[in-house]
């Protein structure tokens, strides 16, 4: 297994996304990247930068390169350095633009129920983190602090945009860790990815003016976006079903080793992509295609929807920044804490181009009806206190270890199986010989293993050749049950595995 950059300095520092693309020396490129991040507001005044060793490991440069770049920016006044306080952004960044305000409406509480196989002893389905690893102590501490410090108005009707504390915390975190270019007034809090899609394509309560939901919110807006919508040929079925229920036609884009074939985009009004880690096949969208899809959106007056579902979890490659950073006015980034914390914490966010903020708020309602204000305040504290960063780094190591154990077990017990898509994320794809996927799924069921075949995620209208495979979620089982789950999986994949266990 390739040595992972995340092994270095995981105990200290925070994630900081920088792209060293400027010509010249690495020190000059790092200096330029830091200046650009500060000048643009991605790094706010007072932000503490990672220690030399941590950032050097993350970027793959020498420690002295980081030290020299920091020293240069301190001398120029961009940074400050004090003993015991670390290196921080100086108090000189440009102020954020005034907040955007708007009226709004509420979504329909309709969701597709997940499949539960209660007969399965081992759950290796994708989509959920290790529930036993939820940071209970840190969450409780943040919840208590948030509850104690919350202003009285926080206990009244919620702002449909979301709590300003969380939007400010997310703007700073996403800028630092994912390279996102935004401001708090362009972030709208939602209850997750499905909620975001309904707000964008369903117009809240089906866009019918005058409808009142059970919380007393009056629906007001129509659809923010309209189809047809291009999607990747392999993706989550519930997203396609949700869009179909809203009357949105989805057009599949073929995939190859470089990600979605964005050159196939034509007259669609929008495209939904997973550019950091294609779901479920794995791998980032190639740099040339990232630029190409933004160029297409500009030329067509279209928009790119970026599903940043597990961007924090990367293992054997440097982090891939958010596509949104290439053009904040043409890309809508959608994220949530369903992978980093838990799907039980119903919080997500949309980072929007300015022109869509008012329409999304109009679709959402006059008050927040779906995302708990207290949970928003707790998450804001978790981020600002550094506990969220520490949890993500700890889980990154935990899931990397899980991934390594899966790969090692298959190499020993089922060496004929090719494992792909494991450089990042919480699942792996096991490639199978043509025509063997149904029998492999059946064998897994007989071994008491719940998992998905790759065909489950294939768009029914795609014309790209089908691949046989299994999608294995290695994050889901609790630690004490993971070894037995791997044993059962290997038993299903080895000769004789199709017999009853």
Per-residue pLDDT tens over the stretch 230-268: 999 999 999 999 999 899 999 999 999 999 999 999 999
Which tokens belong to 360?
């999304």
Distance of CA 465 to the CA centre of its chain: 28
CATH topology for 389-493 is 3.90.1150
Higher-confidence residue of 418 and 4: namely: 418
Beta-carbon contacts of 285 under 8 Å, excluding residues fewer than 6 positions away, are: 258, 259, 260, 262, 273, 275, 276, 278, 293, 323
For the chain, residues classed under CATH 1.10.10.10 are: 5-89
Yes or no: say if 459 and 250 are a contact pair by the CB < 8 Å rule.
yes
What mean pLDDT value characterizes the chain? 85
Q: What is the DSSP string of 46-104?
A: TPBPPPHHHHHHHHT--HHHHHHHHHHHHHHTSEEEETTTEEEE-TTPPPPPPPP----
Does position 398 have pLDDT exceeding 90, yes or no?
A: yes
For the chain, residues classed under CATH 3.90.1150.10 are: 389-493
Per-residue pLDDT tens over the stretch 411-463: 999 999 999 988 889 999 999 999 999 999 999 999 999 999 999 999 999 99
Query: Which CATH architecture is the domain 170-367 placed in?
Result: 3-Layer(aba) Sandwich (3.40)
Per-residue pLDDT tens over the stretch 192-209: 999 999 999 986 543 333
Per-residue pLDDT tens over the stretch 24-63: 788 888 888 898 888 888 888 888 889 888 888 888 889 8
Tell me: domain 5-89, CATH 1.10.10.10, correct?
yes
Q: In terms of Cα–Cα distance, which of 383, 379, 365 is closest to 161? A: 365
Residue 98: the pLDDT is: 36
Which tokens belong to 477?
């089982």
Question: Taking the C-alpha atoms of 440, 340, 49 and 33 in order, what is their torsion angle to the nearest 10 degrees?
Answer: 60
Q: In terms of Cα–Cα distance, which of 483, 453, 439, 466 is closest to 125? A: 453
**CA-CA distance, 270 to 356, in Å (whole number)?**
14
Yes or no: say if 96 and 183 are a contact pair by the CB < 8 Å rule.
yes
**CA-CA distance, 372 to 391, in Å (whole number)?**
22
Residue 222: the pLDDT is: 67
For the chain, residues classed under CATH 3.40.640.10 are: 170-367
In this prediction, what percent of the chain has a pLDDT beyond 70?
86
Q: Is the pTM of this model over 0.85?
A: no
Q: Are strands 255-256 and 331-336 parallel, antiparallel or unpaired?
A: unpaired
Residue 29: the pLDDT is: 87
């Amino acid at each position: 297994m390739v040595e992972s950059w995340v092994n270095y300095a995981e105990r200290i520092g925070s994630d900081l996304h920088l792209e060293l693309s400027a010509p010249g020396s690495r020190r000059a490129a790092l200096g330029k990247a830091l200046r650009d991040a500060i000048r643009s507001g991605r790094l706010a005044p007072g932000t503490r930068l990672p220690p030399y060793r941590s950032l050097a490991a993350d970027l793959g440069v020498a420690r002295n390169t980081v030290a020299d770049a920091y020293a240069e920016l301190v001398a120029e006044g961009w940074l400050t350095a004090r003993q015991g306080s670390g290196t921080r952004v100086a108090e000189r960044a440009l102020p954020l633009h005034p907040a955007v305000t708007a009226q709004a409406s509420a979504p329909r509480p309709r969701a597709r129920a997940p499949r539960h196989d209660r007969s399965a002893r081992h759950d290796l389905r994708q989509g959920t983190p290790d529930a036993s690893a939820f940071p209970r102590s840190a969450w409780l501490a943040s919840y208590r602090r948030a509850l104690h410090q919350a202003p009285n108005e926080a206990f009244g009707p919620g702002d449909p945009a979301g709590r300003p504390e969380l939007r400010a915390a997310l703007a700073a975190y996403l800028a630092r860790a994912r390279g996102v270019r935004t401001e708090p007034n362009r972030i709208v809090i939602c209850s997750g990815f499905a909620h975001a899609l309904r707000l964008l394509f369903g117009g809240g309560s089906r866009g019918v003016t005058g409808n009142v939901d059970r919380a007393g919110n009056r629906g007001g807006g129509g659809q923010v976006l309209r189809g047809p919508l291009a999607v990747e040929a392999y993706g989550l079925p519930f997203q396609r079903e949700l869009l179909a229920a809203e009357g949105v036609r989805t057009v599949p884009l073929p995939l190859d080793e470089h990600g979605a074939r964005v050159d196939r985009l034509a007259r669609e009004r929008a495209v939904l992509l997973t550019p950091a880690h294609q779901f479920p096949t794995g791998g980032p969208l190639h740099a040339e295609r990232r630029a190409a899809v933004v160029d297409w959106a500009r030329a067509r007056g279209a928009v790119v929807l970026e599903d940043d579902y597990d961007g924090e979890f990367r293992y054997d490659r440097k982090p891939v920044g958010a596509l949104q950073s290439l053009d904040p006015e043409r890309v809508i980034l959608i994220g949530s804490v369903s992978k980093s914390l838990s799907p039980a914490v119903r919080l997500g966010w949309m980072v929007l181009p300015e022109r869509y903020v008012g329409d999304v708020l109009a679709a959402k309602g006059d008050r927040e009806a779906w995302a708990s204000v207290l949970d928003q305040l707790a998450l804001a504290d978790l981020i600002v206190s550094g506990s969220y960063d520490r949890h993500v780094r700890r889980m990154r190591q935990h899931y990397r270890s899980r991934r390594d154990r899966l790969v090692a077990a298959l190499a020993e017990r089922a060496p004929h199986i090719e494992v792909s898509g494991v450089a990042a994320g919480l699942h792996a794809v096991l490639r199978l010989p043509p025509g063997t996927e149904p029998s492999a799924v059946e064998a897994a069921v007989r071994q008491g293993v719940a998992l998905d075949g790759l065909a489950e995620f294939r768009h029914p209208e795609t014309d790209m050749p089908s691949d046989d495979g299994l999608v294995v979620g290695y994050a889901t089982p609790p630690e004490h049950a993971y070894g037995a789950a791997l044993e059962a999986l290997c038993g299903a994949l080895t000769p004789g595995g199709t017999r009853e266990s």
